[in-house]
Structure 1
């Protein structure tokens, strides 16, 4: 046995857990961990400009890599700043371990400098929170933290590390790395589900994060083809099913196609694959009709029946369920179902085809998405903030490969840029583009410096209408002619990007976007493309109405 300081023991566990990247803002309360990472041969420490950026990067890195993300921050203010990324990881079921420095053990309970009681503070934001009181227990408790983060329904775990504990030395007792055992479905339950799908006259599958997490899109394609069912993706899980496939019916979220919503509300059977039925997915919990029966498959038993009561709940890893179902299923031949699938996909194609509408004074978002669809490679990874710009992205961009979209189901602003950096760290060979509004971009744009310092060439598209557009839209709907607090003013983002050492482009009309994109790609540096849009058009549906009105008038 060897004696290690607490800080070195923490890093030893990280090494045994195969951690390759960690994101942080350094702080004096956990310098013992930072020092132990000095010139570490296999773990790269990426320091950020804000803890929110660090937690977003770690969360997106986890999604993109399939590994447990790691972020670190100091006590009090640093820990509080991490919270936005931890909340995102909780709602997105992303495996994440947050290591947070804490006040010295003898000072606890005295309102010491930056003291926060973390186990209660983070208790409802995370799967588990633990404070390690002695260096001897670091291997035991930190390995458990990683196991908790990735097992069952994955999520974030907070580990509090008292400053003085990290400087103690103790014998390092090596622990076995626990690998999660995914639950397998009972064959009888799978057979019952298949019978119900076959007997249903109007079935539909809703695919969620359980599909994307297990990379099961190909299995789901075979499942849909075999059983002759349409597939819908839940909120911000676009890449759970190839959007151009004939069985794809569309997505659920803000601005979903009304015909699709009506179809689901009138369905006699919904098969939910790894979705927690969020408020946005369910259209404020109104999605399933009274006559609709539900078969719900989820890795977490606590998620089954949490929103809607199923007639059949199956606790299982989604991939394992699909594999077993394909072993047992017989092809369903039904002309009525085939026609329903074709009709739904045709409606989706019509709804999601971006017109090549160009504008001279501003950039028309319809035309922008038309060009993006033609220009982006199929394996490009897109990340995004929340914001009214997202309505065009969700409606018109077609995701045909899994692991190509990373976005927060929590609706966190400021997510797009740091998420793109985290995704690019995981996949340096792929084109990674973030989409943000001007409001969200300003919340984490300081991470451009991180991208420059670590030579991470992401492309950030900033849709600038000089306002908090989503809130303005709600404001004008609910409190007409009483606009307050949503108007913004901005510097030239392209010029700001250059000051950071990035490539910068400002686009004021549609025809200039593709040349700007090519210049950004050719620069080999982090790049910002600022797109100036019409502040009077706040949604994709409004844009459509404006174009139809103009054509009618002409």
Structure 2
């Protein structure tokens, strides 16, 4: 039986097990939208902006462990979709983006909204392809899903010409195929374990590969067996339970001095499923040329990209840990004491004070209440911004798969990613953290959450400025502030206008009741917290900031 291209695309989505697809509808892929009408088992989430749709799909993929799917129209829609595709690329998130394209006879004539989508996205993706013949849909779309989830996962863009989706053909039935993750050679595993055992001051850095492989329990066993301190890579906090005695802290913005010193003094660093990002390596200064490095990753392409390894092992992190546990041997007592000492320093560094203020919300006190009152299996998402310094320092992630955040540093990510995560895990409490600058970039997705009844909680830290850039201005160009002051609506009232639950918190003592009311409402909720605009970072002197605020008034 002949079927249209649009029907063939959706048939493949069904076979690949897609349950949610995120989009802004567009005329250039109407054939796909029409076919989805016949397939209610795929829930179509229609967002208010393509950037929001791509963040939803990326957050959904992280939380579910499946391939996220987003869709947009040609040119303008594709450009908006790009921010989430870039995030998926830097975060190694499996994503398939289906983008409508101009009709084939009109190409290269500067047709309406025409963009060379393959060329536009090539450097952002694992693979880009334009399907120009309807009968090739099964072959190329199955391959797209395989490419997205295999090896180091990532985004794939599939361009779909409008007229091709209306063509009809008999489709060849092809199976869904998956390749097994690479297994390490036992000789490499034995060599790695022997190097770790002989090291006097080793450190293990756990990255996204641990999370993707669902290998955290195995890593806990291995760290205990080898008495090796574990550090989580940039925005991979939940790769290892933060309260475990082997946990030493995290890499990223604001990494404490004790941890950087421990890594730089290490005679051996084990990098497990991490690509060594610029932020995590402190601008690529983390390791010295003398540091011995064991690098284990699913993709050999990362080896030597930043640091040359003494031993490179191409392997899935779960497979490596399974074999390593079979040959692991206990370490000496001195190693155990060092590991415990580093954990004690982390506990001291991350201990949050219940500092309360009456004229604004003190962020220390806010995080104290967040940590005390949120369920331990809550999923946390976030935007970029200086407010995140408090979250990264004080929130202790105790369970795996409880953090969904962008290593790309994308603003506007928190709310839509929370929607995607909640749709993947409806039984979990999902809370997003945003600054006022980032929240306004995707604020319209409150309506999406209301329309699809997705009860996420958005905490908006409002200081009426682009705080991160303001901080850099004051550091590098003092008394020359430009472009960073903002004005905002009443976010709580705005939420209520959308049909969500809204709360505005002006002092710390009001936060917990607002949080409890938000959870009890059963609605998408926005909690606006008003903070001191003079305090721009977690390490800033509060007394000095208070004096500055009084003087400015």
- What TM-score does the superposition give when structure 1 sets the normalisation length? 0.98
2:551 corresponds in structure 1 to none
Structure 1 residue 507, shift from structure 2 partner = 0.2
2:475 corresponds in structure 1 to 477
Structure 1 residue 336, shift from structure 2 partner = 1.7
Structure 1 residue 180, shift from structure 2 partner = 2.2
Counterpart-to-counterpart distance in 2, 1:533 and 1:454: 31
Structure 1 residue 188, shift from structure 2 partner = 0.1
Structure 1 residue 339, shift from structure 2 partner = 1.5
In the alignment, structure 1 segments of 5+ residues that lack a partner are 550-554
2:122 corresponds in structure 1 to 123
Name the SS of the counterpart of 1:272 in structure 2: strand
Counterpart-to-counterpart distance in 2, 1:364 and 1:135: 59
1:101 corresponds in structure 2 to 100
Between 335-344 and 309-318, report the one with greater CA deviation. Answer: 335-344
Task: Tell me which of 535, 539, 552 is aligned to 1:541.
Answer: 539
Counterpart-to-counterpart distance in 1, 2:84 and 2:159: 17
Counterpart-to-counterpart distance in 2, 1:436 and 1:522: 21
Counterpart-to-counterpart distance in 2, 1:195 and 1:548: 54
Deviations along 1:379-401, whole A, 9 cap, x unmatched? Answer: 00000000000000000000010
2:324 corresponds in structure 1 to 325
Counterpart-to-counterpart distance in 1, 2:73 and 2:263: 47
Deviations along 1:345-390, whole A, 9 cap, x unmatched? Answer: 1110010011010011110000000111100111000000000000
* Map 1:174-323 → 2, pairs under 5 A: 174-323=173-322
Q: CA RMSD in A?
A: 1.3
Whether 1:52 aligns to 2:44 is no
Counterpart-to-counterpart distance in 1, 2:78 and 2:288: 43
Structure 1 residue 3, shift from structure 2 partner = 1.0
2:458 corresponds in structure 1 to 460
Counterpart-to-counterpart distance in 1, 2:148 and 2:290: 37
Counterpart-to-counterpart distance in 2, 1:543 and 1:524: 39
1:504 corresponds in structure 2 to 502
Counterpart-to-counterpart distance in 1, 2:440 and 2:192: 48
Counterpart-to-counterpart distance in 2, 1:507 and 1:401: 29
Name the SS of the counterpart of 1:181 in structure 2: coil
Name the SS of the counterpart of 2:540 in structure 1: helix
Structure 1 residue 529, shift from structure 2 partner = 0.1
Structure 1 residue 176, shift from structure 2 partner = 1.5
Deviations along 1:318-365, whole A, 9 cap, x unmatched? Answer: 01000100011122x312211211111111001001101001111000
> 8 Å contact 1:266–1:291 — kept in the other structure?
no
Counterpart-to-counterpart distance in 1, 2:198 and 2:545: 44
Counterpart-to-counterpart distance in 2, 1:367 and 1:353: 11
Counterpart-to-counterpart distance in 2, 1:316 and 1:306: 17
Counterpart-to-counterpart distance in 1, 2:407 and 2:68: 17
1:529 corresponds in structure 2 to 527
> 8 Å contact 2:535–2:545 — kept in the other structure?
no
1:355 corresponds in structure 2 to 353
Task: Tell me which of 402, 415, 418 is aligned to 1:417.
Answer: 415
Structure 1 residue 298, shift from structure 2 partner = 0.2
Counterpart-to-counterpart distance in 1, 2:516 and 2:197: 49
Counterpart-to-counterpart distance in 2, 1:449 and 1:72: 19
Counterpart-to-counterpart distance in 1, 2:214 and 2:99: 31
Task: Tell me which of 366, 390, 395 is aligned to 2:364.
Answer: 366
1:446 corresponds in structure 2 to 444
Counterpart-to-counterpart distance in 1, 2:339 and 2:172: 58
Name the SS of the counterpart of 1:123 in structure 2: helix
Deviations along 1:252-299, whole A, 9 cap, x unmatched? Answer: 000011110011011110000000000000000000123210000000
> 8 Å contact 1:108–1:115 — kept in the other structure?
yes
- Cα pair distance change 1:177/1:4, threshold 3 Å: same
Structure 1 residue 172, shift from structure 2 partner = 1.1
> 8 Å contact 1:266–1:289 — kept in the other structure?
no
- Cα pair distance change 1:239/1:544, threshold 3 Å: farther
Alignment coverage as a number of residue pairs: 548
Task: Tell me which of 378, 387, 407 is aligned to 1:389.
Answer: 387
Counterpart-to-counterpart distance in 1, 2:230 and 2:150: 27
Counterpart-to-counterpart distance in 1, 2:146 and 2:336: 44
1:336 corresponds in structure 2 to 334
Moved over 3 A (4+): 543-549
Name the SS of the counterpart of 2:63 in structure 1: helix
Counterpart-to-counterpart distance in 1, 2:336 and 2:398: 22
Counterpart-to-counterpart distance in 1, 2:449 and 2:371: 26
Counterpart-to-counterpart distance in 2, 1:96 and 1:352: 34
Counterpart-to-counterpart distance in 2, 1:327 and 1:267: 25
Counterpart-to-counterpart distance in 1, 2:371 and 2:545: 20
> 8 Å contact 1:66–1:213 — kept in the other structure?
yes
Counterpart-to-counterpart distance in 1, 2:12 and 2:280: 38
1:552 corresponds in structure 2 to none
- Cα pair distance change 1:543/1:444, threshold 3 Å: farther
Deviations along 1:516-545, whole A, 9 cap, x unmatched? Answer: 000000111000000000000011111577
> 8 Å contact 2:98–2:160 — kept in the other structure?
yes
> 8 Å contact 1:210–1:273 — kept in the other structure?
yes
